[in-house]
Structure 1
């Protein structure tokens, strides 16, 4: 699916334009307050669609992962949709609050409608208004919290967990306050169906059941940290582990209270005979920095996966691999796969690291064994690779595989496209989960 966010916006807008807008244009009443009321309804409906889509993407369902090109890209879309939903809720709230506030302050004319005696308030309607108001406030605050990268992961995880409850409150608010006449349009029933799609994922999230079918216990067999930076954890998953392809990643839960599972690329090829896999972890945050003191041989951990489609599958045999820092891990697994099968590959591997680390120790030997041409650069001493150095290796029928800092990858993708590389031939692992 090329443009899911565009589709998610245009579909409810198209239904509204086809089935609701003609009646609104033909209505006798009009004016800004009339259109304000209908824009409040429309913005709330679109916000509910986006919130429901975000909940559905959070399920990590295999069919969704396949559709969107891997869990990394699925989560990037989930994040962007979450931000969009927050902005839509902000718009919905401002359409409700701002004109009313300006009217009360005498800065704009109020609605010109007769005010008769009010009947008894409907308990459910009043509850839906209150729930929606507070759900909106909390949602906007949680979006801000989720975007604060300096916030410790366990706080981010706690805030993220609350989105399921907020969605249920938003769905209750939106569906109950939808005008009776609106239920005569297909948009209302489509919105009900979309909201129903989000309810199940919200309940699964609140009960901690997302991803449970893909979880497997594993025992840590070896922990080593030769250079003081990269921690290598060798673990043996249970027999239920389905195996993995080079380039895939998993979610590992080391039993640290409040942390839950963290994503790590698998740094080894899978062999059913040995039955072990290796995780290479660099200290990039609070959790990974403390992991050497947390994990030990003999410990039981929980693995979930495997995930991802950064699998080197391409119609072209000629490939360029670009790795930055710990981004070497998927390529290391691929090299091991090639070496185990006795294959040689037409590949140029560009590996840039900040420090003169011995990790991975077997990289030179694996490249020599598989025919991969290794270009290694110590960036602190020699500076980074230039785009021209990397693109110079391109020829017709080349695919490019990148794992490293996001901005470097995006700049390199633009340069390759300027050189004539098709967009679909540049593969970048979007390894950002917050």
Structure 2
């Protein structure tokens, strides 16, 4: 190939883009102070993290498929080694990035494998520094890509080695545990100054108990108090939360990091609509308690559940609503034929949809449907507030696998029927 081969040069540049994206991804994974100011709330950062990784994976795939060798370029003494190391790094990054979006992989295995991405990124950086390319590392483009490579390496070293050694977070102790229907309610008391937070925010919780020390994000389900106690309402959704319910004891020490998120309602007299589906009611428990000590416009809270038995906080919310003049609670029970519709929301607002703020926490499909219909009815796009319900989300592979399984099952059943049918 000639040094002016545009296809080879494109492959070189697309590989550089992949390194820039991976370096950025390593950096935003650090959760360093100030990241939310630059990139938005942490729940959105996790979505950005996923799509940056997927885009980088596509760039790496193109770099691997398209021949990047340019004849006439002089390589250094390490160019041959860099070629081999780069291939190891490339396939390692591809495999681990694909594994990251396969959500049926158990969390602890995903978490463990995710940590290896930094190692393969370092191999990719070595490949970039010493491989034959149409620009040097000291040229503007080389310096630009190198800066992201070094940023990614620093971020990985910080995450893997330095952060575990540095004092961080707030120390707490488990003060009480309640086992409710499908939930474990945990109250922590501070062992020091404690955490200052706003209603609706979440934290990362690490418990000093076997199998429970891994950091997990949980929304705080109570408003801030003077003693800075924290309450969590944790639904059983996997192995970690089941172990927590079975093994957590009063007196266990804990570390709390945060707070994170900007899912907090605004000041002012505008009407507000809160929609909590299932465990999505958690931030609205804190919201409702906060109304006791602050002024706001009229608030309509819709608590969407499948059956009465799965609403352990209905009585608590009803008591708060009785004592709070501007809060109205409606329990939407789908098993009794009740369903929350946009028409009902619009009617309950009495013509004030344009002025309203709508807050939603619950399943993604329900959120998308309600938002689309409310915007069509006239709700300003920026007045629909939500928090990502799942920080580890896929790209539809689960649905695709289920669809393929169902199609395969249907075909097998059809063949059985045909085989069993009498011949004419």
TM-score w.r.t. the length of structure 1 is 0.82
Q: CA deviation at 1:374?
A: 1.1
Whole-Å separation in 2 of the counterparts to 1:363 and 1:432: 25
Partner of 2:54: 83
Q: CA deviation at 1:259?
A: 6.2
Counterparts of 1:2-21 in structure 2 under 5 Å? none
Partner of 1:194: 148
Partner of 1:409: 367
Alignment partner of 1:243: what SS? coil
1:234 paired with 2:187, answer yes
Partner of 1:16: none
Partner of 2:158: 204
The runs of 5 or more residues in structure 1 that have no matched partner are: 1-26, 101-110
Whole-Å separation in 2 of the counterparts to 1:123 and 1:204: 31
Moved more, 237-246 or 215-224: 237-246
Whole-Å separation in 1 of the counterparts to 2:250 and 2:127: 51
Q: Is the 8 A contact 2:305 2:311 kept in 1?
A: no
Instruction: Give the count of matched residue pairs.
Output: 385
Whole-Å separation in 2 of the counterparts to 1:40 and 1:63: 34
Q: CA deviation at 1:411?
A: 1.7
Q: CA deviation at 1:188?
A: 1.9
Moved more, 70-79 or 121-130: 121-130
Q: CA deviation at 1:28?
A: 8.4
Whole-Å separation in 2 of the counterparts to 1:28 and 1:289: 61
Whole-Å separation in 2 of the counterparts to 1:277 and 1:28: 65
Q: CA deviation at 1:37?
A: 1.6
1:277 paired with 2:230, answer yes
Q: CA deviation at 1:282?
A: 0.6
Q: Deviations over 1:371-408 (max 9, x none)?
A: 21112112233243123222444513211111111121
Closer/same/farther in 2, CA of residues 81 and 240 from structure 1, 3 Å limit:
farther
The runs of 5 or more residues in structure 2 that have no matched partner are: 393-424
Match of 1:225 among 158, 163, 179: 179
Alignment partner of 1:207: what SS? helix
Q: CA deviation at 1:204?
A: 1.1
Q: Is the 8 A contact 2:288 2:320 kept in 1?
A: yes
Match of 1:305 among 245, 258, 269: 258
Structure 1's consecutive aligned runs of 4 or more residues displaced over 3 angstroms after TM superposition are 27-30, 180-185, 210-214, 255-259, 342-345, 391-394
Q: CA deviation at 1:258?
A: 7.9
Q: CA deviation at 1:277?
A: 1.1
CA RMSD of aligned residues (A): 2.7
Counterparts of 1:346-361 in structure 2 under 5 Å? 346-356=298-308, 357-360=310-313, 361=315
Match of 2:333 among 378, 382, 388: 378
Closer/same/farther in 2, CA of residues 149 and 183 from structure 1, 3 Å limit:
closer
TM-score w.r.t. the length of structure 2 is 0.84
Closer/same/farther in 2, CA of residues 127 and 381 from structure 1, 3 Å limit:
farther
Whole-Å separation in 2 of the counterparts to 1:94 and 1:314: 54
Closer/same/farther in 2, CA of residues 354 and 86 from structure 1, 3 Å limit:
same
Match of 2:87 among 133, 144, 160: 133
Q: CA deviation at 1:86?
A: 1.3
